[in-house]
Amino acid sequence: MSKPRIAIVIGTTRPTRFADKPAQYLLAEAQKRDDLTAEILDLRDFDLPFFAEMASEAWMPSQSDAAQKWQQAVAGFDGFIFLVAEYNHSITGVLKNALDQAYKGWTRKPFSAFGYGGVGAARAVEHLRTIGVELQMAPVKSAIHLAGGEFIKVHPMGQNAEMDAVAEVLAPSVKATFDDLVWWSNALSPARAATLAAAA
Ligand SMILES: Cc1cc2nc3c(=O)[nH]c(=O)nc-3n(C[C@H](O)[C@H](O)[C@H](O)COP(=O)(O)O)c2cc1C
């Protein structure tokens, strides 16, 4: 079986975002493992319009070129870790829009999150889990939460230390999250393939 291909989805796009720092840290951690491959999937690279289709991709092909490009990118992955900033106790508007702009590429694939904020974006991550269920995704138990003093330590509005300063605290949840994603990817990829083969 080939190694699961995991996307690290950057869920914020504002010019001065913090997200790049945890994203690059997470990519480096992923690259230390030999049981998966990981790539950054950055919403900035897709310039998605606000959803304006006749219907979800679940029901008909999307008209927007940007949405189609996004759907193709999503479809190429076996699982996802979303970089989740908490904006007013939920996920960002751009991430919700990006979730809405695809469907088939999300379904029956596992996902987790790296949440950051005062409470490690725990509220937003829980919200993301329920959104994922509607997209027929499989939320895994483990997630990474960069919270409280640890968040302030590395955030530019705080001490702006390098991610090394919080690596020891994050290490157990980073390992558990990748372990969960690999397990679920390995379980679901053959099951998706069998369903496609049966329908062909
Ligand atoms: C519109 C907005 C709402 C926010 N709401 C929350 C919040 O509910 N909880 C929280 O912990 N941080 C909140 N923050 C602070 C963010 O955690 C912080 O700005 C973080 O850097 C945002 O991620 P980004 O830099 O990748 O955009 C909010 C920030 C913005 C811009």
Could you read off the pLDDT of 1-52 as tens digits, one per residue?
799 999 999 999 999 999 999 999 999 999 999 999 999 999 999 999 999 9
Which tokens sit at 63?
A: 């008209």
- pLDDT of the residue at 29: 98
Residues 6+ apart with CB under 8 A from 109: 77, 78, 79, 80, 137, 138, 185, 188, 192
CA of 18 to the centre of ligand 1 (A): 9
Measured in Å, residue 86 CA sits from the centre of ligand 1 at 5
What residues make up the domain containing 13?
5-199
CATH code where residue 174 lies: 3.40.50.360
- Name the token pair of 90: 């939920």
Residues 147, 117 contacting (CB under 8 angstroms):
yes
Domain count, the chain: 1
* pLDDT at position 78: 98
Q: Contact, 160 vs 154, CB < 8 A?
A: yes
Q: Which residues line ligand 1 (CB under 6 A)?
A: 12, 14, 17-19, 85-89, 117-118
Q: What percent of the chain has pLDDT over 90?
A: 98
* pLDDT digit string, tens, across residues 71-108: 999 999 999 999 999 999 999 999 999 999 999 999 99
Average the pLDDT over 44-64 and give the result: 98
Closest of 116, 113, 112 to residue 148, by C-alpha: 116
